[in-house]
Structure 1
Amino acid sequence: MDSRNDKCWCGSGLKYKKCHMSLDEKIREYELKGHIVPERFNIKTAKDIEGIKISAKVNTGILDFLEGKIIAGMSTEDIDKLVYNYTIEHDAIPAPLNYEGFPKSCCTSINNEVCHGIPSEKVILKDGDIINVDISTIKNGYFSDASRMFMVGNVSDEARKLVEFTKECLEKGIEQVKPWGHIGDIGAAIKEHADEHGYSVVTMFGGHGIGNEFHEEPFVSHVGRRDTGMLMVPGMVFTIEPMINIGKANVYVDKENGWTSYTRDGSLSAQWEHQILVTEDGYELISW
């Protein structure tokens, strides 16, 4: 138990009673009522948040840098090289590279690939493709993560609508982020919006806490139920990254590479991802 006059656990140098004591007491009240609450590790300190934002500036910069550069005729390996070079030039590290054996600096998922596509010189972009590029960055030990969809040349109306709708789903989820709400509210809003318009939401994957490590608690389901799941508390940082399919939600993972997931029915899939900080009065976008 922390003493009121001890220095706060967050490293601010302030006395506990002047810093995190009131927040901890409020969290404890919710816990006693049966709510799932975050560990202290998942509540970022001011120093952590500053470090995460510096990392995120590089991460968002990479995605901005790619705008207009992804065209028909280039390989996904070309994209990976652009990502790697930009990251290294900004004194950062591509978080996916060698993570649990992943061989590249980003994920490039095309058309019916749901996520974790591996860049390759053999995969050439064609006119009409849609591609998700997922970027994760380490800078000064802090992690950031976001992804965007890119449309190559003249895409079909069906593909364009999917890309735009998936971003809408992300925005519906983000609107639910507020202190003392529940993680389940995010997925509930996404699922409701998708159901209403005849799309399906992938359940195998979800968002995640991030900052001091690549993947932290909580798991952010995109098909959650309202008023369930972990309590959202100021200082938490996590991703929201819905994967939306035109067809059914069923997916499978490539047995050969162990990473790339595909829609089981071969239908198109899209994904957008933002990194979010829970604030005292709502949220702040960290990387997008």
Structure 2
Amino acid sequence: MIILKSKEEVAKIAKASRIVAESLEAVRAYLKPGMTTKELDLFVERQIRERGGTPAFKGYRNYPATLCISVNEEVVHGIPSPDKVIKEGDIVGLDLGAIYEGFYGDSAVTVAVGEVKPEAKRLIQVTEESLRAGIAQAREGSRLSDISHAVQSHVEQAGFSVVTDFVGHGIGRALHEEPQIPNFGPPGRGPRLREGMVLAIEPMVNMGKAAVRVLDDRWTAVTADGSLSAHFEHTIAVTKEGPVILSKL
């Protein structure tokens, strides 16, 4: 069942999402070559708590950290480690959630560390553009799969592949609510979008093939062919005036 939110509930999700956005922006500025992913995780947890939030991922299904940090060929759910060092030329996915007064916010960005190869820059750009394309379809009266189709079309026109193993989701009093939001599929299918829906739209895009595999830690997903991957996500509200991005500064 898709849970429609009141304006008061959307405001609380917006507050949680703003905590996520501000914390992600802080960690982007803090990130430097030579840091470990564990350092970044500890830093961002302080950012969330200083803003009155609680980390959403830590302890969720026994996930051990605040931040999912996915480097290069890692697609999503990379676990921070004191042994993993960020290097010049890496691309780093930062996926973060926060809770505020019982409501969740969720967002992700992929950042380039120093100078990266042109094809890596293009992958990041196309993935972010595909998120914008999906959000533009999140209008009252549209079908859910209109979002999915817009993402897939933009990605494949650029010659990249959409990950099909992981999807976006509804969000509110729980981190993952109905509906699931694939980043692929034909338009004009699924439930109609209505005011009060709050969605976390999150394209994951591979430079090579779409296939992924999960490592022995049971969390970290990597591209099966070793190609680079990028990930962007926003929490958005469907309103009569159009989509509103809640996790944008």
After TM superposition, the score normalised by the length of structure 1 is: 0.84
Could you tell me which residue of structure 1 aligns to residue 130 of structure 2?
A: 169
Q: Aligned-pair distance for 1:189?
A: 1.0
> Which residue of the partner structure matches residue 158 of structure 1?
119
Helix, strand or coil at the partner of 2:137: coil
The correspondence for 1:185, drawn from 140, 146, 171, is 146
Q: Distance in 1 between matches of 2:98 and 2:150?
A: 28
Shift of 1:253: 0.8
Question: What is residue 11 of structure 2 aligned with on the other side?
Answer: 50
CA contact (8 A) 2:206 2:229 kept: yes
The question of 1:206 aligning with 2:172 is answered no
Larger Rg: 1
User: Which residues of structure 1 form unaligned runs of 5+?
Assistant: 1-37
* Unpaired stretches in structure 2, ≥5 consecutive residues: none
Q: Tell me which residue corresponds to 1:263.
A: 223
Secondary structure (helix, strand or coil) at the match of 1:287 reads: coil
Per-residue deviation, 1:47: 1.9
Q: Is the 8 A contact 1:186 1:224 kept in 2?
A: no
1:67 aligned counterpart, secondary structure: helix
Residues 225-240 of structure 1: matches in 2 within 5 Å? 225-240=186-201
Q: Which amino acid aligns with 1:282?
A: G
Alignment map for 1:69-148 (pairs within 5 Å): 69-148=30-109
- 2:110 & 2:132 partners in 1: Cα distance? 14
- Provide the rounded CA distance (Å) in 1 between the counterparts of 2:226 and 2:123: 15
Describe the superposition over 1:17-57 as per-residue Cα deviations: whole angstroms up to 9, x where unpaired.
xxxxxxxxxxxxxxxxxxxxx54xx1001221121111112
**TM-score by structure 2 length?**
0.97
Specify the alignment match of 1:274 in structure 2. Answer: 234
Q: Is the 8 A contact 1:70 1:150 kept in 2?
A: no
- Note if contact 2:149-2:187 (Cα within 8 Å) is conserved in structure 1: yes
Distance 2:130 2:12 in 1: 28
- How many residue pairs match? The answer is 248
Which structure exhibits the higher relative contact order, with contacts defined as CA atoms closer than 8 Å and separated by 6 or more residues? Answer: 2
1:67 to partner: Cα distance = 2.7
Percent identity between the two aligned chains: 38
